Structure 1
Amino acid sequence: MRVVWVGARACLVEVEDAVAAASLAAWSRARGLRSEEVVPAAATVLFDGTDPDEVSALLRHWSPDAADLDGPLVRVPVDYSGPDLEDVAGHWGCSVDEVVRIHTSVELVALFSGFAPGFSYLAGLPAERAVPRRSSPRARVPAGSVGLADTWCGIYPTASPGGWLLLGTTDVPLWDVAREQPALLAPGTRVRFEVRG
């Protein structure tokens, strides 16, 4: 772990991976760290608007397995008719129906947000389910598209370019500024996908 101070009231803590970053962010919030923002990413946590001494003291008591990432569970109904289902089946060595069964059988967790407001990087697929990104990204991926890249899963909150393999779509609103917490899948949120009826 390495701490990089960014001015007098912010620091970036470098950790091993996204799970450790989400763990540190959740753990520090649970301990009441006074910070305007705690933002986990792929291998860092930004503490903004905070006391350097308080962060340093807190970090002496943290270990990567210290936090409980058992946040609220959100169920996401999906129309599994994405254009890349057969490609994913090929990578996984199974049928399209089996892709759907596997994807709906795993509980994922949002570790960090990025790319666009409301886009969360969901972890929990086993390493043997890793898939490559498309060799050529699409110019426009429809809003609500559920995709895979490496072992990550994500849902595009708005139409945008993208190179993830698309399994299907959902109508669940991922970003709503009228909600108390605009992002539906904030870090720590558990996610289960299900076949839309």
Structure 2
Amino acid sequence: MRILRYGARAALVDFDRIEEVLGLQAAIDGEPPDGLVELVPAARTILLRYDPDRTSFERLCDTVRQYSFTETDRSGGSEVAVPVTYDGEDLAHVAAETGFSEREVIARHTAGAYTVAFCGFAPGFGYLTGLDPALRLPRRRTPRTRVPAGSVAIADEYTAIYPNESPGGWQLLGHTSLAVWDVDRDPPQLLAPGTRVRFHEV
């Protein structure tokens, strides 16, 4: 763990692995340090924004270093069940690249226990960890200019659901009718960091 000063009101905690990010995030969620205003997880970092009237960078660093965590806590938080129709444009390609049948790809994807590690790229776009290592493939060499909202996709060590129509280079496995981003909902984001996710075929 490396902690860097990030401006006058934040600290950036840097890790080597996403599992460490999730572990510290769970520890902080369980017992937030005094003066913490916001926690923003990413693939290998956590940004901790604090109130300088209530704490200091040095005090925050001391507190963070005292947290004890060895494994990712996936037991807390809410769980979202996502219905998926596995008809994605890249399903056959994923099967060919991994050496599995399309049915085996679907079975492995639905067997995963996923956790939203962080959000990025677009509002409501959650990066889910827990993908079967055998399904890990790189992004497409040429991104699509249009990926429909609700597309369920994989890339590298993550799986995700496109919240809105947008360009994208992930491997498309299928689609869901579940709205993961809705501005008329409070909060609009269904897949917040820490949320557990299960996919099931329809």
Output aligned runs, 1:1-197, within 5 Å. Answer: 1-33=1-33, 34-50=35-51, 51=55, 52-65=57-70, 68-70=73-75, 71-196=77-202
Letter in 1 for 2:188: P
Cα deviation code 1:170-195 (max 9, x no counterpart): 11111234444332111111111011
Segments of structure 2 that go 5 or more residues without pairing to the other structure are none
Relative to the length of structure 1, the TM-score reads: 0.92
Q: Percent identity?
A: 45
CA contact (8 A) 2:2 2:13 kept: yes
Relative to structure 1, is the Cα distance of residues 26 and 176 closer, same or farther in structure 2, using a 3 angstrom cutoff? farther
Aligned residues: 196
2:122 and 2:170 map into 1 onto residues whose CA distance is: 14
1:107 Cα deviation from its structure 2 partner: 1.1
- Helix, strand or coil for the counterpart of 1:181? coil
Segments of structure 1 that go 5 or more residues without pairing to the other structure are none
1:116 Cα deviation from its structure 2 partner: 0.6
Letter in 1 for 2:181: W
CA contact (8 A) 1:27 1:67 kept: no
TM-align CA RMSD: 1.7
CA contact (8 A) 2:108 2:132 kept: no
CA contact (8 A) 1:14 1:44 kept: yes
The ranges of structure 1 where at least 4 consecutive aligned residues each deviate by more than 3 angstroms after the TM superposition are 177-181
Letter in 1 for 2:125: F
2:188 and 2:37 map into 1 onto residues whose CA distance is: 17
Point out the more displaced range, 135-144 or 169-178.
169-178
Letter in 1 for 2:138: P
CA contact (8 A) 1:18 1:42 kept: yes
1:107 and 1:31 map into 2 onto residues whose CA distance is: 25
Letter in 1 for 2:63: L
Letter in 2 for 1:23: G
1:18 and 1:119 map into 2 onto residues whose CA distance is: 17
Cα deviation code 1:104-143 (max 9, x no counterpart): 1111111111111111111112322211211110001011
2:187 and 2:73 map into 1 onto residues whose CA distance is: 20
Letter in 2 for 1:19: E
